[in-house]
Structure 1
Amino acid sequence: MPTKSTEQNKNISAQVDTMDNCAHLANLVVTTTGCKDIVTGDHFLKFKEDAIVCNIGHFDCEIDTAWLEANCAEKDTVKPQVDRFTLSNGRHIILLASGRLVNLGCGTGHPSFVMSASFANQTLAQMELWQERESGKYKRGEVYIMPKKLDEKVA
């Protein structure tokens, strides 16, 4: 049982389990872990017909796309960044963005304004940490919410 996932999602009405236990139930799989081989060949073979698989976690290591490419009977490009694979068991898998980050591959990614606001917030937060480094206001290893006054500067 993935205890950290369960803890993080306790207020969300969703099933949290391992891929081995729930692959046969999947209509949509979105990997978000940043870990390697979250979706493997065994999982692909268990997915429902036309299950959609995508990644938002970390590069393209979460989904074993090499297995999918090597073991499919046929691959059809439905449209750019949307591929439909026919597996040996006759089922089809729809892979978005070739297993890479789906928000960048299938959408327009983050608009430049959103990116600039995010980076401005990060910069102001780093400046705050530096300026308060000896005051004891912030402790090493702790997580803090950005001071509202800094967030408002960016807004």
Structure 2
Amino acid sequence: MSITEQINDYIGSQSEVKRSELQTLHDLILNIKPNCQLWFLDGKNSDGKVVSNPNIGYGSYGIQYADGTTKEFYRVGISANTTGISVYIMGIEDKKYLAETYGKNLGKASVSGYCIKFKTLKDIHIDILEAAIRDRLEQK
């Protein structure tokens, strides 16, 4: 199954509200960066054990670990969670940047060093979320 098919299946498997909101975010991100690399992570580790919620990723950047090894990973990700939706903004070195730059204007959301979590799109200012996504996807 292709990554696009996995993404469509994942979005389609959600409740009606989450399905609609994930599709809205998916379309928004693809409008920002139409030809970005797509990722789908099913949330399982190499032993097949569920370790996280499945998530859709967009873009690519290199992670360098302390031991010198590197790995490619997505820049922005989205995922349904038990209470709503998480948007992951990956690869930001300053763990206060996301909260300080976007958090106060975002609306009813919790913002950590790399994750924006909210119950529904109606609770947030989508233009501010779009700015945070655009900021990361358009970085060199």
TM-score, length basis structure 2? 0.27
Which protein is bigger by CA-based radius of gyration? 1
Q: Which has the higher strand share?
A: 2
TM-score, length basis structure 1? 0.25
